[in-house]
Amino acid sequence: MIDAKILPLQKAALQPLAEWLARRGLRADQISLVGFGAGVGAFAALCLGYWLLALFLILANRGLDGLDGAVARIQGPTDRGAYLDIALDMVFYALIPLGFAVQAPEVHALPAAVLIVSFVGTGSSFLAFSAVAAKLGRKAPEFPTKGIYYAGGLAEGFETIAVFIAMCLFPGSFAVIAYGFAALCALTTVIRWRQGWVAFSGEGR
Asked if 171 and 111 touch (Cβ cutoff 8 Å), the reply is no
pLDDT value of residue 154: 63
Domains of the chain in start order, with CATH, are: 3-199 (1.20.120.1760)
List all residues 6 or more positions away from 22 whose beta carbon is below 8 Å from its beta carbon. Answer: 71, 74, 75
**Helix ranges (DSSP H) in 49-173:** 51-75, 79-103, 105-135, 157-169
pLDDT value of residue 5: 62
Residues 78-129 pLDDT 10s: 889 889 999 999 999 999 999 999 999 999 999 999 999 999 999 999 899 8
When pLDDT is cut at 50, 70 and 90, the band that residue 56 belongs to is very high
pLDDT value of residue 112: 98
10 Å Cβ neighbour count for 187? Answer: 16
